[in-house]
Amino acid sequence: MKRTEYYEKLLAAVRAGYTIVPNMPVDLFAVRVIRKPGMKRESSIYGSANISDVSPQMLAEGEGKYVSASPLQSTWTATEPDPSNVGKTREVNYAKFADFTEVAFPLQSARPMVMEATQEAMAMKLFDAMGIAPPNTRNADPMIVGWVMDPRTTKEWDGQNHRRRHVSFLVAWHLDMRTL
């Protein structure tokens, strides 16, 4: 069932005019989800606790909503007994998943044509995640890339390394002719 959905989304993306491009590093700014926020909680005694990025779900075309890949989190510090040093206390930093946040369009590609093409792609609810390539670059010609996640992969999502298999599609690209 999931593999059939996967191939149907690939075909729908090609029919909609999107081009398959090689997978490349991207900064995800939108993921498509249908679930409510979980009660994920992290703690750390060595630094600030942090909730990992939201992972995209592999949904059928048209389902779910796009949210930011970076969740809203609440953080706090508590003093607790130190189990390794009886009678002493230690500071523990906590972070809790609070809610999804709205998609924030990456400013480095804020060109009207790119923004319109991205909004059209998001309205189709076809791609499982959307990102910008190259990541963390100011003076480049940014590309907006849509991902269709492959359900056959067995690796877990890990936010930054994007270990899950996927097919990338070019959604929009601003080529600055002055750089040629």
Task: Render pLDDT for 104-113 as a digit per residue (tens, 0 to 9).
Answer: 766 655 677 8
Q: Is the peptide bond before 134 cis (omega within 30 degrees of 0)?
A: yes
Please tell me the predicted confidence (pLDDT) of residue 36: 65
Alpha helix segments (H runs only) across 50-163: 112-124
Contact between residue 52 and residue 95 where contact means Cβ atoms under 8 Å apart? no
Q: Single out the residue of 75, 171, 64 nearest to residue 115, CA to CA.
A: 171
C-alpha pair distances (Å), 92 with each of 40, 48, 100, 144: 16, 9, 25, 39
> 25: how many CB neighbours lie within 10 A of its CB?
13
Please tell me the predicted confidence (pLDDT) of residue 161: 47
Range of lowest pLDDT (41-50, 71-80, 144-153): 41-50
Contact between residue 25 and residue 134 where contact means Cβ atoms under 8 Å apart? yes
Predicted structure pTM score: 0.71
The DSSP element (H or E) to which 168 belongs, if any, is strand 166-173
Alpha helix segments (H runs only) across 79-140: 112-124
**Neighbour-count burial for 113-134, b at 16+ CB within 10 Å, e otherwise:** ebbebbeebbeebbbbbbbbbe
Range of lowest pLDDT (100-109, 121-130, 142-151, 168-177): 100-109
Strand duo 129-133 + 72-81: pairing: unpaired
Average pLDDT over residues 39-51: 57
Q: Report the alpha-carbon distance of residue 83 to residue 90 in Å, rounded.
A: 9
Give yes or no for residue 158 having a pLDDT over 60: no
% of the chain beyond a pLDDT of 90: 18
The DSSP element (H or E) to which 21 belongs, if any, is strand 19-21
Contact between residue 164 and residue 150 where contact means Cβ atoms under 8 Å apart? yes
Residue type, 88: K
